[in-house]
């Protein structure tokens, strides 16, 4: 018999890495995850800026489950900016951002200020929700 469980992982700004809170969820329900995100507060008052879903599966003869499905990221609001917009602004404070965008071939980023400011590459399948 196969056992399958779904999870939602909330990402919040951290000092060096994201803070992550993983919660079990009945299904990959975006609206339910959106509501759940409002209850999450990490260290230093950080609130989630995004979440994604995973599914873990285990067969009877397996000791541990394995991740069998992974969703795109859902961003909790934010502003999308292209490399062209950032280049045209010519802000010296964004020199490292531009260097990272060019060297990693990111054509756009998302900037979110739900709690602490984060700037992340926006992948083609990522979704920005109204928040």
The confidence score (pLDDT) of residue 61 equals 81
Residues 96/102, Cβ–Cβ less than 8 Å: no
pLDDT band, residue 38 (cuts 50/70/90): very high
The confidence score (pLDDT) of residue 76 equals 97
The confidence score (pLDDT) of residue 124 equals 93
Query: What does pLDDT average to over the chain?
Result: 94
Ranges of each domain in the chain: 2-75, 77-123
The confidence score (pLDDT) of residue 7 equals 98
Mean pLDDT of 16-26: 95
The confidence score (pLDDT) of residue 11 equals 97
Alpha helices in 24-131 (DSSP H): 30-37, 83-89, 95-104
pTM: 0.90
Rounded Cα gap, residues 67 and 55, in angstroms: 6
pLDDT band, residue 131 (cuts 50/70/90): confident
Retrieve residue 99's tokens.
């260097």
Q: Beginning with the edge strand found earlier in the chain, give each strand of the sheet holding 79-82 in spatial order.
A: 79-82, 108-112, 118-121
Question: 120-130: per-residue pLDDT in tens?
Answer: 999 999 999 98
């Amino acid at each position: 018999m196969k056992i399958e469980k779904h999870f939602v992982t909330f990402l919040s700004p951290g000092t060096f890495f994201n803070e992550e809170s993983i919660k079990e969820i009945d299904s990959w329900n975006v609206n339910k995850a959106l509501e759940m995100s409002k209850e999450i507060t990490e260290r230093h008052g950080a609130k989630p800026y995004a979440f994604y879903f995973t599914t873990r599966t285990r067969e009877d003869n397996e000791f541990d489950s394995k991740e069998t499905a992974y969703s795109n990221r859902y961003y909790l609001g934010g502003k999308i900016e292209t490399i062209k917009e950032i280049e045209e602004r010519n802000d010296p404070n964004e020199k490292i951002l531009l260097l990272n965008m060019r060297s990693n071939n990111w054509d756009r980023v998302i900037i979110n200020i739900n709690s602490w400011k984060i700037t992340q590459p926006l992948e083609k399948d990522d979704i920005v929700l109204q928040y």
